[in-house]
Each structure stands twice: as C-alpha cells, then as structure tokens.
Amino acid sequence: MGMSYLVYPGAHHTRFHHAVGCIYLMQKAIDTLRMKQVEINNKEEEALYIAILLHDIGHGPFSHALENVIVKNMNHEELSLRFMDLLNREFDGGLDLAIEIFKGVYHRKFMHQLISSQLDMDRLDYLKRDSFYSGVAEGNINSDRLISMLDVKDDQLLIDIKGIYSVEKFIVARRLMYWQVYLHKTSLAAEQILVKILKRAKEMIGDDISLKASKSLLYFLTTDVDAASFDNTALRMFSSLDDFDIISALKEWSNHPDLILSSLSNSIINRKLPKVIIQNKPFNDSYFKKISDEVAKSYSIDIEKVDYFVFQGAVKNQAYNAEDERINILDKNGKITDIVEASDDLSMSGLSRSITKYFICYPKLY
Amino acid sequence: MGMSYLVYPGAHHTRFHHAVGCIYLMQKAIDTLRMKQVEINNKEEEALYIAILLHDIGHGPFSHALENVIVKNMNHEELSLRFMDLLNREFDGGLDLAIEIFKGVYHRKFMHQLISSQLDMDRLDYLKRDSFYSGVAEGNINSDRLISMLDVKDDQLLIDIKGIYSVEKFIVARRLMYWQVYLHKTSLAAEQILVKILKRAKEMIGDDISLKASKSLLYFLTTDVDAASFDNTALRMFSSLDDFDIISALKEWSNHPDLILSSLSNSIINRKLPKVIIQNKPFNDSYFKKISDEVAKSYSIDIEKVDYFVFQGAVKNQAYNAEDERINILDKNGKITDIVEASDDLSMSGLSRSITKYFICYPKLY
Amino acid sequence: MGMSYLVYPGAHHTRFHHAVGCIYLMQKAIDTLRMKQVEINNKEEEALYIAILLHDIGHGPFSHALENVIVKNMNHEELSLRFMDLLNREFDGGLDLAIEIFKGVYHRKFMHQLISSQLDMDRLDYLKRDSFYSGVAEGNINSDRLISMLDVKDDQLLIDIKGIYSVEKFIVARRLMYWQVYLHKTSLAAEQILVKILKRAKEMIGDDISLKASKSLLYFLTTDVDAASFDNTALRMFSSLDDFDIISALKEWSNHPDLILSSLSNSIINRKLPKVIIQNKPFNDSYFKKISDEVAKSYSIDIEKVDYFVFQGAVKNQAYNAEDERINILDKNGKITDIVEASDDLSMSGLSRSITKYFICYPKLY
Amino acid sequence: MGMSYLVYPGAHHTRFHHAVGCIYLMQKAIDTLRMKQVEINNKEEEALYIAILLHDIGHGPFSHALENVIVKNMNHEELSLRFMDLLNREFDGGLDLAIEIFKGVYHRKFMHQLISSQLDMDRLDYLKRDSFYSGVAEGNINSDRLISMLDVKDDQLLIDIKGIYSVEKFIVARRLMYWQVYLHKTSLAAEQILVKILKRAKEMIGDDISLKASKSLLYFLTTDVDAASFDNTALRMFSSLDDFDIISALKEWSNHPDLILSSLSNSIINRKLPKVIIQNKPFNDSYFKKISDEVAKSYSIDIEKVDYFVFQGAVKNQAYNAEDERINILDKNGKITDIVEASDDLSMSGLSRSITKYFICYPKLY
C-alpha cells in the first residue's frame, strides 16, 4: 500500500501475506467452478496456483510508488514475468503453463481472467485485506459470496445474476478505497517525495557525491536500467531490494549536508509532510508560479531546484471500465451481459465514468 | 423485518431491540453535535430520546406487511402519534416537546431530521442491525463514522464532506438491502399471503363462521377500524396485538375446514411457499388469466376466489430521493450542497432513479 | 435459549437455525477427518447428517425450561428418538443407521461422539451462535480451528495437541456462558415462573375452570403424559407445540380473574420480573419462611399458595467432567490423554470442579 | 511482537499504533471512572495521557528480543524514563506529574495502576491488537467491557464483581497468547538467533573486521553501553535505532564471508529457520553435547563456536501472579478481594501457577 501507513497506521501488511491470500481464494474459486462442472485438470490447477502466487513478484519497494522509477519503462507485470522465466529455467519448464496463463496466451481464456481481470483473485484479496488493515470498514467486500457466484460460459469468467448486488457493492467499495485510501492526498504526496528523493540521490551520485545505501539500492542509483538492459544481474539486485533498503537509506540521508536530500528524507522519516491541496480542476499556472517563487526564496534555493519541494500532478480513477475489461453477468436464461446493462439502475453507468483530481504540494512551513 | 426470516433464518430480532439501538445512536449523535458547538439543552436531549424511542411504537405485527390492513388508512407514524398522545396525558405533558419534534413542528428543524430523514438514527440502526441478523454482509454500514461526520448549519442536519464516501456507501448498502432482503420475492409473497389470510378471515367472520383467535385479533377482524373510528379501545387492543397473535391464529387456522384459509395458513406455518416470478416489466394479462384459470380448475374453486392463490403486484424502490429529503453535504468552504451534486461521479444521480419490479405468485404444485 | 431474551434482547434465534448450523459444522468435520485418512462412507455420512439435524427435534417450547414439565419423565433426547422412529417408518428404514449412531450403539463409537460428547457439533454450534446473538463476546469460540484439530484414533474422537489451547479456551467460554447467560438469575427466575404458570393452569383445569389456549397446549394441560403413555397422538400434539402457543396463552391469561395465573403471566409478558438473589450457599429456612409469610399477607393469599411467588432452587455447573465424557488429546507421540492431564497447568483441574449456586425469588413489590 | 511475523504473517503492526491505542483506552477509562465519581482533575488527566503515550518509548528494535542486549542491564522502563526526563527538560517540567505517575511515586496509587498493573491500558490494548493482527482469535479480549467495569476504592484500581467472568477470560486469553504467540517456539528461536548475530557482529568488530551497518547500530556495536554510561549521545543514537537498522544490516551481512554471521543472518532473512524442540522438562546434557558435536563436525567449526548454532533455553509464564500484583474485585457489599478468592472455582488458582518450558535449537540440515 505504498506510503498509506502514514495515514492509516495499521496498513503495514506485506505482499507475502497478499500472495498467500490469493492462493487461498484461488483454491476456493477452483472448488466452486469444478462444482459447477467447469473442468479444470490438475496441471491447470497447479499452474493457476503458481501464476497467482507469482503475479506480483515483480513489485519493487513501496509497490506502485516506485514503479517505472527504479527500473525505467518496465511495469511490475513485465518484471514478474522475468522472475517467472528465471524460475522456469530452474524448474526445467515447470512453469510453462503458468506463464501462458499469466500472459493470456493459453487457449482457455477464463484462466487468465482468474489471474487478471476486474474480478480476479488479486482484487478480491487486496480490497478485503487493505480494508481490514487500514480499518476503512467501507472497503470491505464479501469475497466469499463473490467467489461462490463465479461461473464459466463460452470460456468467459462470469458472475451469476444472483450475485449482481455483490458486484455493485464490490465496485463501489473499490472506488471508495481508491479515493479514500490508495489516492489519499497525504500518501500521494509522500510517494511523490520518495520519487524525488531517489531522483536527487541519482543526481548527486552523478556528481560524484558519495551516498550511504545498501548494495542493491546503490546498483540502481548508479546504473540506468530499462527493459532493454535489464539482465540477470539487475534481476538479482532487484530481487533483494525492498522497503528496508529505502527506509534505511532515508534514515541515513536525513542527516546529509545536502539540503534537498536531507529535508526530503526527513519529511518522510519524521512525518514532516507537506501541505497538499486537491481539487477537481487543474491549478492555474500563476498560482503555481507564485508558490514556487516564494518557496525558492525562503529556502534560498535556485528556482530550477524548487520543483523538489513544490509540485503538482493529477490522479485518475475509473471504478469500472467496460471497454477495458467487462464484468460479465449470466442471467437466468443463460444470456451474458455486461454489469452496466444488467444492473437495474443507472448508478453503474455513473461508476464507469473516469474521474480526475488535481493536487499541488508545497512545504507546510511556507 | 416482516417475513424475511423465511429467507434469512437469523432475522428474528425485535422492534424493542431496534428502539434501544436508536437511543444509543442518538446519544452518540448528541455527543458529536455538542462537541461541534451545536447547542442542545437537557430538555431537548430528553425529548430526542423519547421521540426516537417511540418513533416506531405504532408498528403492528409484522411491521409494514400489515400496515393499512389491520387499521385502514393509518400508517405507523400516525399510530405512533396516538400512543405518544396517550402517554403525554399520563405524564402530564411530559412528552410535549418530543411530540413537537416528532411532528416536525418544533422550530429547530434539525432535531426532526435526527428522528426522520435520509440519515436519521432509525435508518442508521436498522440497516446495520438487519445486515447483522440476516447475515447479508453487504448491507453493513459504518454508523459510527457517519455519526461522527454529522454537523448542523442553518438549522440543517448535514454531513461533513470528509464523510462523502461513507454516505455513498450507505446509499448503496440501503439499495442492496431493499432488493436483496426487504423486497426479496419470497418474503414479499409470504407477506401478501398474510394479507390475504386476514382478508379471508374477515370475510368468514362476516359470514358468521366462528374462528379461533386472540381477543385483540378478533377485535380487528370483527371491527372496521380506520383513522376516524380509532378510539382508546382500539388503541388498547392494538397495543396488545403482536406477531404471536398472528402466528398462533395461523397455526389454528391451518387445520380449519375452509380450504382457502387452511391452505394459505399452512403455506406460512409449514413453509409451503408459492412460486414467485419477478421481472422488470409488467406481466401481460393473458398470461395471468391462463394461470388463474388453471389454478381455479385444479383447486376446484370459483374463479372469483382464485385471487387468493394467484396474484400479482409491483414493488418500487428509490435508493435516494433528493426531492423528498436531501442529504446535505458541508464542503470545506462552508457551502451546503446535495449529495448528488457533491459526489464526484454520476453514480449518485443513477441511484436517485426510481426502480419498479413486477411479480406474480401462484401455488408451486401447479 | 429459554427466556434469556429477557436479559439479552438479541437472543431470539431459533432451533431451526441451530440445526442447519450443526449440519454445516458436520460437513466440515467429515471433510477434515477424511483428509486425515479416517474412512467415512457415504451411507455413514448421510446418517451423520440426519442424526445431527434431528438431534434436538424433541425439544419443546422454551427448550430446557419446560423439559419434564410438558411431558413427565421424558427428556428431549428420548423425545427426539420418538420423532426419528416415526420418520424411520415413513422412510422405510432410511434412518436406521442415523438412529444407531444417535443411540450410541453403532460399532464406530466416534460417530456418536460427533453427535453427542464434550466437543460435539451441537456444542460447537450453540456456543458460537448463542455468543453471537446474545452479544456476550467472551463466549465466542473458534469452532473452525477446533474442527480442523479433530482426529480419530482407536475409534475415539480426539483433538491434536496443537489445539490444546483452543480446547481450554472452549471450556472456559462454555463455563462463562453458563454463569453469565444460560444460568443468569433473571432468565432462571422467568423460567421457574413459566413452570409455575403451567402448573397453575393444570390445577385450574382440574378444577373445571375453562382456560383459553391452543389445541395442543390444552391437550397437555388436560392429559397427564409420560414416557409410558406417550403415543402417536401425543407426538403429533407435541410436534405442533411451540413458543407461540405458550406466549399466546400467557397473553390471554394475563387478564384472567385468577390472581395467581394472571399476575404470573403478566410478570413474563410485561417484564414485571421478581427479585432474585443468588449466592454460593443455601438460604436458611427462617429467612425463607419470613419472606413467604410477608408475601402471603400482602397478597392476601393462603400460605400454601405462596410458593407460586416465593421459591428457591439451586443451579449446578461443571465446566468439564472427565468422568462423564473425556476430551481426548493426541500428543506428538501418538499417545492419548485426557485434557486435564495434557494441559500444562492446574486450571483444568479447577474447571472440572462442580459449582453449585443457590437462588431465591420473590415479588419486587415486596 | 518481536519476530512473531515469521509465524503469523499479519503481525507487522507497530509500537506507534499501540501507543495511540493506549491513549484511546485511557480516555475511555477516565470517562468511566469520572462517571463513577472518581475525581480526576485536568492536570492528572493530561499526565495520564502523557505517561501512557510514552510508557513504551524505551523499547528498542524487536522489543523484548533485544532488551538488555543493545543496552546492557537496562530494561525498557528505565529507558522510557530517560526519554521522559529529556522531554521534561525540553518542556520545562511539563512532564513532572506524568513521570511521578509512571514511577509510582504519585500519592494516588491507582493512576500508576492504569499505566502498569495486571489490568493496565497497555495490556488491554496489546492483547486485543496482537490477537487482531496475528489472527489468533482466541486471544481476543473484551476491553470495552473490562474498562466499563473499572472502579476505584481506597485508592485501588479494581473491577466490579459483575465483570469477574470477563477478567477470567482475560487471564485465560493472556495465557493462551503467551504460549501460542509470544513464546511460539519458532519466533523464540529467531529471536535467539538475532541476539547471536549481534554478539557475533560485536566480536568481529572487536577483531577489527569492518561491517556495514547504520550509524546508530555501529555505535552500539562498537560501544559498550550500560545504565552507568548511558548518556545523551547514547539516548540520541538509541532513539534513531529501529527494526530497519537491524534488518538492513542482516541483509548486508547475509553475504558476508564470515560463515557464522552470514548463515545466521541468512536464516532470518530467507526464513531458513532452525529446528526447535520444546518440552516440559530440561534436556539432558549428553543429548545436547551429542548434537553440538555433530553440528560442529558437519559445519567444520570449532566446538567453542558451535553455540552459535546449537543452543538451549527456558521460557516461563505465569498467567496470573497475585503476589506480584493483584487483580482486585469489588463485591456487592463493597468488600475487596483478590480474583483468585473471588472466583467461584479453582481454575484461577491453577492459572496462578508458574509454568516453565525448555527448548533446544539446532540447524535443520542436521
């Protein structure tokens, strides 16, 4: 959950716990589908467990916060695939089927949907788990009931119409978790600062200023790694990099003589978080410039460095996107329709609108 | 919850329990509002407790199911008021203020809104309670958080914008409870049958056929009571009438020689419930006539009596109705807007559409 | 839960719900045992479901409160057996095995232990259920974990030593539920009053005073039924007798001219419950006589009738009784020991002591 | 919770969260006591909040696991006091009263009992919290009810006799959490290994082998700090030392050429945990020697170094210790007795027996 723990102090659960939870839900889903005469053989079952267990292994420290930062232009799915490929070589092709399912190239498409779709085991686990650990009760979903409503027709994963209200509740819960937790302005700001700290560290190392950090973190600070240059060394380094490396570095850097590095590090370590304003329309340029000027002046820093402290951005969320991936509902006559159509009111069409919010951050002292 | 226990076997909680729960929430609401500098004096506090404690006292057996059946043209609020008036005389005017608040004539309007509005203590208690006892987890709401977000401005009860997602979740939960629980087709049918049983019993008593029943129930079966003729005798009789009178009568009547009375009573007592079909558009007349004819024939009853067994109806629900009563949201600048406007997506406008469903019931044997 | 709802207003759950819950736990137990290589064939599985579904069918209204009152000298197990025998005839011997298991004569003893022993599915369901509905959180047990620890060795149902703390917690929870809920002095008194009401009603009917009541209840008030005379008519009458018959009768009787009958009935219906004192040693006779005299005088009733209002009794509970039925623990070396021995402290031996408490009831007015 | 997360993967909650939870419970406790006419003035209230907020501030990384290891002969209470003293100087005596209460020298003794006693806010928070995050449902306690039963008489914190079963349940839950969670053999072993890793690191640094670690950790590895030499520098260093320093060091050290350091570090970081046997009596010496010899041989290490890998120990727990600190029960006649006396069975005396268990650890490979 990135830096959400700064807002919700219970949110310290780990990706390991999530991976175990996903396998558990996958077991339930397979049981349910088999009971409904969907044939899944033992090899497919094993592959589904492997795929869901490893689906997130490519996440680096602080999850999405540092995606595309530590490794340029590679998202966590591509990184997960690199790990699976390596393991597949070690296990002499034992992950072949899991990888096919993960990539979505296996001929039985519904299996990929169990791993990655609007109602995959990943979401069913993380929404419930994040709601539990953050204490945001409204995000709780009934994953047991949702799984018991799963079915497959024409190789499509779908939900029996009896479960339609649970699906709606799921979509609303998801939207709520996005705005209230995942995109909470405070954790958003903290995550931006994290990105800026790493940028500053790289810059300084480029200027031959030595910085204390773990071996793995130093590797990524000194080497520009992207999809093309991502080799086995990079993979090994990446695999040993986690939140501990980042936080330990920040703790050291918070005492560094460089004002930018130390004050940013300090703002995370000692919760001296910036002021964040969030609104439904973009901020105007003159307002942004005015703040930038004043911060540059009061911090006595160059105006081109002020974007370490004053910055803006946008976040977007669409609770349900039918164009991307539909949630299929199976009605009593065996017809398949999209949830928006099947739902008996208009709220679903509202939920499929994309919402954008704009934020601006600057130091509180100001 | 009417006859919902036929579908959700845990739903046997009582109105007494609900009334106690409402007072508890009212205490929390008053604490919260006072903390936010809303002045509520001790007399007003007491009146709010009395009003919320008694707000539902006019409910007869099986709540809404028999509203307007046992007493014609009087809803439960009017009946509650009769009880309050009686108690007020007994307590020498001690309920004066409570009654003013209950009627909505007290000059501080927000107090009435605590008793009766989209976000009153009544709803905050019954949604959570019904979700708990029915086991329909999706209906659970976060009443603690909702209450902590309450505020009053310009004599209007409102919700701080920080709680906007909780309000949305509340409206969605309410809609879900309506369709999945309160308007579940099986309890709907059972409640219709209950109405028909009482109608049949009245008819038979009118024909001088003697029926076993409690004193209170016999009173209402032999006397046509409406708002005009509702006197103290009626009130006393009504006060001693509860689910036990109805169920006990049904148990006796299930062995009565009258086929209509006994088979309908039997269908409730021994769970021999009818077939119910529910759909989004009205049934066409010829279909309804065809079923009626066949049932009349196979039961060997007159066609004009067949509507005891074959009947149709419609149910309507509107998750949120701004014209009726708004949910006011207080934004960061102190402006008050309706939830539909304040919400950042279109789902709320969808939720404020009214939905109608149509159902038809007929004996399963058929 | 007898009259516990007078103390814990949520405790309105039904025996039907409990029976369904027991089957659910039995499914889990069978799954667990089969996974541990305990062979249970399909016929045995079905018989276990039948036996647990029907194990409590012999309970009359208000469960234990009226056991041995409505039907003399027959406890609910014997009555359950009568129902099973009747059903067995209807189903042409289809319940043969279920009955053998229920009686404990089937050669695989552990199956009877699943139905009736210290850790049977009955207790695992009712403790959790009663804790849930009464709201007494301390009575909550972890039935999932307890079932997952079940095993069978030498035809004995036992618990793996890993689950020993859960067993201890279970025994403590059970003890707590006994003293705090099942034997709560207020419900205890109410149940005694119920017995006295039925006794008074019988007495009056014996004196040819006519009383309003349901057909089934009148049957048992006019007929002395015991194990010897309990025939099919009695069984049919018993089967249609439930809480509704009793409460409806009490409602009618609370307006009867007989002071004893009406004031006792009234005390239940309108919660005018007596004063109850409970202590660890018996009350002395002179104290009891003094109260009796004063109540007789102030009520103007014969001294020999005063025991309708002033009475005493004792309740006994033993959290764990190894002589009766042991809880077997399977240690890491495959040795079976009793929980008291296996437990590493002395609390278990304490819990196996029998505790007796003494109570006295008299009208509050006094 | 030390290294419990290796067994219960959800147990990643923090001391910060616990401290906030303790203040919350303290607010409830103060409300309850004031309602019962126990006078607590505003200055005392504030002091109670400060004292409970800071009561655990002296805990170092991994809590009890490294107590007396990082700083010799100083437990966490003494360290907490050092922090409070420093803050008191900063706040010009603003913590005077809080410190008096914390030390137990304030004349109103019950206030110290709210901070530190068998039923203090600390235990009421951590038991519930640890049960929640570990998922060990049996450890859940009803802290709301326990707090509502608090009272003060003769300057003694006590529990109303109505809450006696909740107290018993609390003691049983606590015992269960000790054996099942806090003293779980796997986390026990991991914590011992942590101690050995730091011992080895110190040894190596003493031999002038350079080791990578954070500034604070290096300080404590190179300096022998005890109560006498614990100055402000030590305090500052200690304040910036947390789990991140330890885990980051272990990650680096797991690749160090020193076999002992790297394999121990590796066993924590990569969950290669040793075999642990736990039993109720001490292991005999020849058994221990035999294992030690074999491990020394197969690891090719000196026999005097083998205790890094093969070691034994004992853990002790006493669920309730009346000699130390009693739980006082206030009976209906206003008499105060100890819980063991007040409890109506013998289980409590059993629970007050001290239990010792013995364990032995050695590498699994062996």
- Cβ distance of B138 and A349 shorter than 8 Å: no
Q: What does pLDDT average to over chain D?
A: 92
Helices D76-90 + D232-239 axis angle, to 10:
110
Q: Do chains D and C touch (3 or more CB pairs under 8 A)?
A: yes
Identify the contact set of chain B against chain C, taking CB-CB distances under 8 A: 9-10, 12-14, 16-17, 20, 133, 214-215, 240, 244-245, 247-248, 251-252, 255
Judge whether D8 and D180 are in contact, CB under 8 Å. no
Which pLDDT tens digits describe chain B residue by residue (366 residues)?
889 999 999 999 999 999 999 999 999 999 999 999 999 999 999 999 999 999 999 999 998 888 888 999 899 999 999 999 999 999 999 999 999 999 999 999 999 999 999 889 999 999 999 999 999 987 888 899 999 999 999 999 999 998 888 888 888 888 889 888 999 999 999 999 999 999 999 999 999 999 999 999 999 999 999 999 999 999 999 999 999 999 999 999 999 999 999 999 999 999 999 999 998 899 999 999 999 999 999 888 999 999 999 999 999 887 777 666 788 888 888 888 888 777 765 466 667 778 899 999 999 864
Asked if residues A330 and A319 have their Cβ atoms less than 8 Å apart, the reply is no
Q: What is the 3-state secondary structure (H, E, C) of A245-313?
A: HHHHHHHHHCCCCCHHHHHHHHHHHCCCCCEEEEECCCCCHHHHHHHHHHHHHHHCCCHHHHHHCCEEE
Residue A339, helix vs strand vs coil: helix
What residues of A are in the D interface, CB distance below 8 Å?
9-10, 12-14, 16-17, 20, 133, 214-215, 240, 244-245, 247-248, 251-252, 255
Q: Do residues D135 and D175 touch, judged by C-beta distance below 8 A? A: no
Q: For B5, which DSSP code? A: G
For B184, which residue in chain A has the nearest alpha carbon? A162
> Quick one: pLDDT at residue C1?
85
Taking a C-beta distance cutoff of 8 angstroms, is the pair C172, D347 a contact?
A: yes
Q: Give the number of other Cβ atoms within 10 Å of residue C83's Cβ.
A: 16
Please tell me the pTM assigned to this model. 0.85
Please state, in angstroms and rounded to a whole number, the distance separating the CA atoms of residues A330 and A154: 11
Residue D366's pLDDT band (boundaries 50, 70, 90)?
very low
Nearest to A353 among B168, B346, B357 (CB): B346
**Residue A212: which residues within 8 A CB-CB, separation 6 or more?**
A249, A252, A253
Binary contact (B345, A345; C-beta < 8 A): no
- Over the stretch D75-109, which tens digit does the pLDDT of each residue have? 999 999 999 999 999 999 999 999 999 999 999 99
Min Cα distance A126 → chain D (Å) is 13
**Could B13 and C12 be called an inter-chain contact, meaning their C-beta atoms sit closer than 8 Å?**
yes
Question: Closest partner residue to B9 among C17, C215, C247, by Cβ?
Answer: C17
SS3 B361: strand
Token pair in block for residue B362? 């007929």
Chain C positions in Cβ-Cβ contact with residue D275 (cut-off 8 Å):
none
Nearest chain C Cα to D136, which residue? C142
Q: What is the mean pLDDT of each run of 10 residues along chain A (366 residues)?
A: 92 95 96 95 98 96 88 92 97 98 97 94 95 90 92 95 87 88 92 96 95 96 92 95 96 95 96 91 94 92 93 86 78 85 66 85 79
Q: Which of D162, D169, D183 to mutate to test the interface with C (most CBs of C within 10 A)?
A: D169
What are the CA-CA distances from residue C159 to residues C325, D275, D280 (Å)? 14, 24, 20
- When CB atoms are compared, the residue of C179, C280, C350 closest to D348 is C350
Q: A161-175, D168-182, D280-294: which has the highest mean pLDDT?
A: D280-294
pLDDT tens-digit profile of D150-161?
999 999 999 999
Pull the structure tokens for residue D233. Answer: 């520098």
Task: Find, among C143, C179, C109, the residue nearest to C356 by Cα.
Answer: C179
What was the pLDDT predicted at C366? 46
Chains D and B touch (3+ CB pairs under 8 A): no
**What is the identity of the amino acid at C266?**
N
Residue A172 three-state SS: helix
Can you name the residues that pair with D153 across neighbouring β-strands? D156
Residue D91 CB partners (closer than 8 Å, separation 6+): none
Closest chain D C-alpha to A64 CA, distance in angstroms: 20
Mean pLDDT of the D355-365 span? 89
pLDDT recorded at residue D169 = 85
Give chains near C: 3+ CB pairs under 8 A.
B, D
Q: Please judge whether A20 and D14 are an interchain contact, meaning their C-beta atoms are less than 8 angstroms apart.
A: no
Query: CA B181, B119, D148 angle in degrees (round to 5)?
Result: 90
pLDDT at D49: 98
Dist. CA D22–CA D48, nearest whole Å: 11
**Nearest chain D CA: its distance from A5 CA (Å):** 10
Please state, in angstroms and rounded to a whole number, the distance separating the CA atoms of residues A183 and C186. 53
Binding-site residues on chain C for chain B (CB distance < 8 A): 9-10, 12-14, 16-17, 20, 133, 214-215, 240, 244-245, 247-248, 251-252, 255
- Two structure tokens written together for B115: 């008793």
pLDDT < 70 regions, chain C: 322-324, 344-350, 365-366
Contact B9 C14 (CB under 8 A): yes
Residue of B nearest to C12 (CA): B12
**Closest CA in chain C for residue B242:** C248
Q: Where are the beta strands (DSSP E) in chain B?
A: 150-153, 156-160, 275-279, 311-318, 328-330, 336-338, 354-362
Q: Is C39 exposed, middle or buried (0-12, 13-18, 19+ CB in 10 A)?
A: exposed
pLDDT band at D350 (very low <50, low <70, confident <90, very high): low
Both structure tokens of D347: 């289980």
| Chain C residues within an 8 Å CB radius of B240 | 251
